[in-house]
Amino acid sequence: MSDEIYKKAAYIITKAGILPTPVNSTLIEILKTQLTEDELDFINAFRRKTSQTMDQLKKTSKLSEPQILSFVKRLAKKGFIFNQPNSEGVMVYRLMPLLMVGAFEYLYMKKIEHNEVEEKLAKMFSNYFEETRDFIQANYEQILPIFENMLPIDRTVPILNETIQGDQISLSVNKEIEVPEETILLTQNVEELIEKFDDISVGHCFCRHHRDLLGNPCKYTDLRENCFTFGKSARYVAEQGFGRLISKGEALEIMKKSEDDGLVHKAFHPHSDITKTETSICNCCKDCCGTLEWWRMGIVALINSTNYLSQVDPDLCVGCGTCVEKCPVDAIELNDSEKAEVNAECCIGCGVCAHFCPENAISLLEGMRKVYVAPPRLR
């Protein structure tokens, strides 16, 4: 009976996410470490609607307001409930998925002691990722249209002080870009993005933190506390102990250190709608980033929004291969002439290649586009 209760809740939790994931014994074991059976009953109230007001929850849960607030407090601390007011000031209680972005990410944003229990849980998550890959691959043709119709999961914000080229113009990322009136001008540099927010929190990079617990630390950086959230997301993260509120100055210092290590700024928007204000920024490396790792594993498509495309000047390129090594999505190769060549279909316009090119042979072309690369077919 206990497994059946957890299984029922697992279906509700997986439906709250954007990624098709299986309900299996590993997921149930993970939930057993995180949730009590009475919390499962409360989660059942979200089976038809993942976001609810207090009045709605009273009807769906059949609980009193004090009882609801007690469950919300417990589940928010575990990253399963997001409790912040909407734009109209009305408190909304939203059930979070396990992954992208949900309980897994919030769990590993906070500092966790390395011990047998935590390492066992980290291994369970790793096993679940592999089982999700097997599930996706076994149902590849049916699931592929879901990915094809998804909005970009994240948006690249290029690193500072790289060269941008447009139609007969050359300008720095830190200068204003002139665009037609009807075009939405997104915040395209980190300094301006940070300046937009009064509330900024930082937590541990959940991807690297998880890898540390597996005994497989990052090869590209020693930085861990460089996962940012903004606005009400920042308040939630700080209130629940997943991170801490910081100043704009400290945020920029951490961003600069991340750039020096070749990490990519990836911004996230509510419901993947890039016209809405950013909720968070990850600083991603080539080997740990969940979205990049899961893409290579065959779990999810690479779906990214970017305003830039790397361009190599073959007259300046000496074929050193630095950009090939640094590119987080393997979008650059050396051609037969030993010159760097960019695959435009994969390039996410992050500027890491330009940042590290010793010959200044790489610039960024301006132009909003969506990058879509299907997950590899492994069977």
pLDDT of residue 1: 52
Judge whether 363 and 309 are in contact, CB under 8 Å: no
Low-confidence ranges of the chain (pLDDT < 50): 161-162, 166-185
Chain centre distance of CA 221: 18
Amino acid sitting at position 329? V
- Write down the pLDDT at residue 334: 97
Give the per-residue pLDDT at 95: 98
Question: Looking at residue 291, what is its pLDDT?
Answer: 92
Question: Would you kindly state where each structural domain of the chain is located, as residue ranges?
Answer: 2-133, 146-373
pTM: 0.90
Cβ within 8 Å of residue 364, ≥6 positions away: 158, 162, 163, 164, 165, 173, 308, 309, 310, 311, 349, 351, 354
pLDDT digits (tens, 9 = 90+) for 131-146: 999 999 999 999 999 9
CATH fit for domain 2-133, picks 3.90.1170.50, 3.40.50.170, 2.115.10.20, 1.10.10.10: 1.10.10.10
